[in-house]
Structure 1
Amino acid sequence: MNYQPYHYQDFATQWIIDKKKSALFLEMGMGKSVSTLTAILELMYDYFEVAKVLVIAPLRVASTTWEDEIEKWDHLQELRISKVLGSEKQRVAALYKKADIYIINRENVTWLVERLHSNWPFDMVVIDELSSFKSSKAQRFKSLKKVRPFIKRIVGLTGTPAPNGLIDLWPQIYLLDGGERLGKTVTGYREKYFLPDKRNQMMVYTWKPKEDAEAAIYENLSDICVSMKAKDYLELPERIDNVISVELPKRAKEQYYQLERELILSLEETDILAGSAAVLANKLLQMANGAVYGEDGKVKHIHDEKLKSLDELMEAASGKPVLVFYGYQHDKDRILEHLKKLKPRLLQSDQDIKDWNQGKVHVLLVHPASAGHGLNLQTGGNIIVWFGLTWSLELYQQANARLYRQGQKQTVIVHHIIAKDTIDERVMKALETKDVSQAALIEAVKAKMKQYKARFPDGM
């Protein structure tokens, strides 16, 4: 795909190129990754200032997002990546593979530092989700701090750098500038900018900024940190659609393909009706989501990959309210159980709507069929997650319109969690092209049938 950046993406790329230490505080969906990769490309092949780049990211982001971005954009095709993930043997092999960009999950930063230490080969480091380094007591912070002197260029990326308040900024900024702007120690930072808030005798639990501290902190960071909000910089669209691909485990893939083959080969091409095609699609959509109803009506668990992706979206939302659309009863039950620490709410009453719009609900679960016209949720949040997709364009559009509507003050971000190489991809494409008619569903089943009959002419 040809890359035609928004003006703010050009600005972000140049910001990274111009500064040896920098941070981009861009809201989710604004293209932090492609802006950064474009800067890496130029620094590596135009300016010849960078030879090896390390990207530190949450596990799922490390596994898919950066590779997907490179594959998506034409101008990035020459960048070679190596994902330092998996078992220690796999990580070591990936570490010594010839590449431009090495991607590791943040949980393995300590392992990497202990292995390389003074032989640190990366002259540029990108920390994706810099806010995950907000604790100066965490081992990942201490480890990266050890090799910071060997890093010539460093970039921090996040949507919300201080989800729990400005006190969280010190460790993140220290990794960028070694204490130049906010002080050499977290104690000094607290004493200069904060006052004790909640305490138990001598133990201080929370800190509150001194008067004018916020302005002073931001002024000190203004030369290396740029903050952008979607509503301020995105001219069009006012809605950002984001596809998050998840890779199913090997066993789950095998189960999916086996069911798909059995269902499709049990049909006769001349007898494919909307009803039978819909039954087939529903079964496969369930499996893509992670569970399926068996013939006995009981739920059979398949995988948790979408739940893991949902975890990362919740973390990236940094406390902002999230509206989650689910497709099946077992999806709802699994999500409610999985996110129970966040106290998710199921949309059931007018009080639920009122509480959501007043900001009292962190996670609201809604079935698209119950999100019809007239349901106003736009004042409660701007983030949507489709845990499972619907083949109904009407339900899809109506559901999104609960937030993406007149009266919404922020750019709406719509995330779609898609299982790779499953029916999810076909449904997503159909929704994007608005070709979700019964005829389209039947044709999709027929096309898949032809593939399987070519591969299994005897029906096996």
Structure 2
Amino acid sequence: MIYKPHNYQEYAKEWIIEKPSSALFLDLGMGKTVCTLTATQELLHDYFDVSKVLVIAPLRVAEDTWSSEVEKWEHLNYLKISKILGKEKTRVDALREKSDIYVVNRENVEWLVGYLGKAWFFDMVVIDELSSFKSPKANRFKALKKVRPFIKKLVGLTGTPAPNGLLDLWSQVYLLDGGERLGKTLTSYRDKYFKPDKRNQSIIFSWKPVDGAEDSIYEGIKDICISMKATDYLKLPERINNSITVQLPKTAEVKYKKLEKELLLPFEEADVVANTAAVLSNKLLQMANGAVYDENGEVKEIHNEKLKALDDVIEAANGKSILVFYSYKHDLERLSKHLKNKAFKVLNTSKDIEKWNKGKIPIMLVHPASAGHGLNLQFGGNIIVWFGLTWSLELYQQANARLYRQGQTQGVIVNHIIAKGTIDEEVMKALENKEKGQSTLIEAVKARLKKISIISN
């Protein structure tokens, strides 16, 4: 396929080429992979600025997306990609191949740094989903920090730079500039821009920005971070968010409230125990979906109201393909059992993606973490069902963007099945509030492309 870039894609490509290190906060579905590959191709073979390129990506994206994009576009076909995946011997063999671009999953970054050591030879690194390096305590961050001095050009890609707040930005920006803009340590960044929020005497549980902090942070990073929203540059079809409320049966409601109040739900064989706030939240989400794990790891079924609601969506879809996001293993088991007389598939392989996009899978069950980044599913359908909700804004946005992205020709309907009077309602509120905060960041560092048309034809 011949690549005819939108004006914003050309602008993003030049941004990568011109900046020693940079971040693209491109909205979901705007083609940041092909932008980056096009820039990389020119840096390798036109400018000769770099010689070996490493892409760090989520596993499924590392396996499929980058190589698929190279195969898809005619101007990239000659690029050779080596995948540093699988068992250690396979990874070592992949490293020894003569290639232009090497792709590694982020779980193997620590291994790669340890294996190469001072012999590190990648002078350009692309982090696909920069926000996955938001924790300075994570081994992947610590490992990449060690070899950062050997990297000539670093590019970070994400649609959700601050999924849970501005504190998430420090480690991401540090990898870009070594602490030049937001400080050399998380502590110094936090002390400068934040103040304690929730605390118990000397123990601080959360932080909130001081007055003027947001503007200062945005001003400090705008020279290396470019941000664009899909709605400004692409004529995307309409997206409709739909809430489907289900009422728990009285017996299920009693059990739910008992666990919520007493942190203990007794059964004959074993109890369901929630001894921390995090565990309680998790257990309540499970019960809202219809089942819960007891203390022995066995599944206790509570109700099937969400399954009934899903049946209604399937019937209303009238044969159109549906993407169903589930949260827990017992969700998948119950969904699979419930749909056994229908044609459904669980997303596992690249072939599943291919069949879905050809319209050969009427119902596909997907865990949002396995389809969170980079997968193109927009050609196979336009209906999403959230059977179980997630607290993670990043997972939520990325999962929805599998269908609501460039190339989608139909209006996308995002259905949320919400159990009335349960934690589901709180999760939806939290996602909406976080999304507002994310939008503030995106707007603040947004690229103002004054010399090009806002919408590319």
Same fold (TM over 0.5): yes
The one-letter amino acid of 2:89's match is K
What secondary structure sits across from 2:216 in the alignment? helix
> C-alpha separation between the residues in 2 aligned to 1:397 and 1:18?
34
> C-alpha separation between the residues in 2 aligned to 1:66 and 1:398?
25
The one-letter amino acid of 1:71's match is E
- Structure 1 partner of 2:265: none
Cα distance, 1:232 vs. partner? Answer: 1.8
Cα distance, 1:15 vs. partner? Answer: 0.2
> C-alpha separation between the residues in 2 aligned to 1:149 and 1:95?
20
What secondary structure sits across from 2:369 in the alignment? helix
The 5-angstrom pairing of residues 278-427 of structure 1 reads 304-305=348-349, 310-314=368-372, 325=384, 336=387, 339=388, 342=390, 383=400, 400=412
The question of whether the paired residues in 1 share the 8 Å contact of 2:374 and 2:402 is answered with no
- Structure 1 partner of 2:39: 39
What secondary structure sits across from 2:109 in the alignment? helix
> C-alpha separation between the residues in 2 aligned to 1:381 and 1:125?
22
Cα distance, 1:106 vs. partner? Answer: 0.2
- Structure 2 partner of 1:274: none
What secondary structure sits across from 2:103 in the alignment? strand
Cα distance, 1:310 vs. partner? Answer: 3.3
- Structure 2 partner of 1:162: 162
What secondary structure sits across from 1:175 in the alignment? helix
> C-alpha separation between the residues in 2 aligned to 1:206 and 1:316?
31
Q: Which runs of 5+ in 1 are unaligned?
A: 241-280, 318-322, 327-334, 345-358, 364-379, 388-395, 404-460
Tell me whether 32-41 or 198-207 shows the greater mean CA deviation: 198-207
Cα distance, 1:400 vs. partner? Answer: 3.3
The question of whether the paired residues in 1 share the 8 Å contact of 2:373 and 2:398 is answered with no
Cα distance, 1:4 vs. partner? Answer: 0.6
Q: After superposition, give the CA deviation of every residue in 1:107-127 in whole Å (9 maximum; x if it has no partner).
A: 000000000011101000000
The question of whether the paired residues in 2 share the 8 Å contact of 1:159 and 1:316 is answered with no
- Structure 2 partner of 1:229: 229
Distance verdict in 2 for CA 1:167–1:129, change over 3 Å: same
The question of whether the paired residues in 2 share the 8 Å contact of 1:324 and 1:385 is answered with no
Q: After superposition, give the CA deviation of every residue in 1:214-266 in whole Å (9 maximum; x if it has no partner).
A: 111111101111011111222x34469xxxxxxxxxxxxxxxxxxxxxxxxxx
- Structure 1 partner of 2:67: 67
Work out which structure has the larger RCO, using CA pairs closer than 8 Å and 6 or more positions apart in sequence. 2
- Structure 2 partner of 1:171: 171
What secondary structure sits across from 1:310 in the alignment? coil
The question of whether the paired residues in 2 share the 8 Å contact of 1:197 and 1:206 is answered with yes
The question of whether the paired residues in 2 share the 8 Å contact of 1:20 and 1:152 is answered with yes
> C-alpha separation between the residues in 1 aligned to 2:189 and 2:43?
33
TM-score under structure 2 normalisation?
0.59
Distance verdict in 2 for CA 1:11–1:238, change over 3 Å: farther
The one-letter amino acid of 1:173's match is V
> C-alpha separation between the residues in 2 aligned to 1:385 and 1:11?
24
The one-letter amino acid of 2:146's match is K
- Structure 1 partner of 2:289: none
- Structure 2 partner of 1:51: 51
Bigger helix fraction: 1
Distance verdict in 2 for CA 1:63–1:10, change over 3 Å: same
- Structure 2 partner of 1:15: 15
Distance verdict in 2 for CA 1:324–1:204, change over 3 Å: farther
What secondary structure sits across from 1:24 in the alignment? strand
Q: After superposition, give the CA deviation of every residue in 1:154-206 in whole Å (9 maximum; x if it has no partner).
A: 00000010010101000000011100100000000000011111112211121
Q: After superposition, give the CA deviation of every residue in 1:72-113 in whole Å (9 maximum; x if it has no partner).
A: 111111111001111111111111111000000000000000
Q: After superposition, give the CA deviation of every residue in 1:263-306 in whole Å (9 maximum; x if it has no partner).
A: xxxxxxxxxxxxxxxxxx99xx99xx999789x96999977456
The question of whether the paired residues in 2 share the 8 Å contact of 1:181 and 1:220 is answered with yes
What secondary structure sits across from 1:226 in the alignment? strand
- Structure 2 partner of 1:214: 214
> C-alpha separation between the residues in 2 aligned to 1:300 and 1:101?
36
> C-alpha separation between the residues in 2 aligned to 1:232 and 1:30?
11
The 5-angstrom pairing of residues 125-136 of structure 1 reads 125-136=125-136
Cα distance, 1:325 vs. partner? Answer: 3.2
Distance verdict in 2 for CA 1:214–1:399, change over 3 Å: closer
The question of whether the paired residues in 2 share the 8 Å contact of 1:95 and 1:102 is answered with yes
> C-alpha separation between the residues in 2 aligned to 1:381 and 1:122?
28
Q: Which runs of 5+ in 2 are unaligned?
A: 240-318, 325-331, 350-363, 376-381, 416-457
- Structure 2 partner of 1:76: 76
> C-alpha separation between the residues in 2 aligned to 1:72 and 1:78?
11
TM-score under structure 1 normalisation?
0.58
Matched, 1:195 2:195: yes
> C-alpha separation between the residues in 1 aligned to 2:401 and 2:211?
36
- Structure 2 partner of 1:439: none
> C-alpha separation between the residues in 2 aligned to 1:382 and 1:51?
34
> C-alpha separation between the residues in 2 aligned to 1:382 and 1:108?
23
Aligned length in residues: 303
Q: After superposition, give the CA deviation of every residue in 1:124-159 in whole Å (9 maximum; x if it has no partner).
A: 000000000000000100000000000000000000
What secondary structure sits across from 1:311 in the alignment? coil
- Structure 2 partner of 1:257: none
Task: Give aligned-pair identity as a percent.
Answer: 55
The question of whether the paired residues in 2 share the 8 Å contact of 1:325 and 1:385 is answered with no
Distance verdict in 2 for CA 1:111–1:73, change over 3 Å: same
What secondary structure sits across from 1:14 in the alignment? helix
Distance verdict in 2 for CA 1:307–1:126, change over 3 Å: farther
Q: After superposition, give the CA deviation of every residue in 1:319-373 in whole Å (9 maximum; x if it has no partner).
A: xxxx9636xxxxxxxx84xx56x289xxxxxxxxxxxxxx9xx97xxxxxxxxxx
> C-alpha separation between the residues in 1 aligned to 2:121 and 2:128?
19
The one-letter amino acid of 1:208's match is K
Distance verdict in 2 for CA 1:169–1:316, change over 3 Å: farther
- Structure 1 partner of 2:97: 97
The one-letter amino acid of 1:142's match is K
Distance verdict in 2 for CA 1:309–1:87, change over 3 Å: farther
> C-alpha separation between the residues in 1 aligned to 2:171 and 2:79?
31
Distance verdict in 2 for CA 1:308–1:50, change over 3 Å: farther
> C-alpha separation between the residues in 2 aligned to 1:3 and 1:239?
25
Distance verdict in 2 for CA 1:239–1:103, change over 3 Å: farther
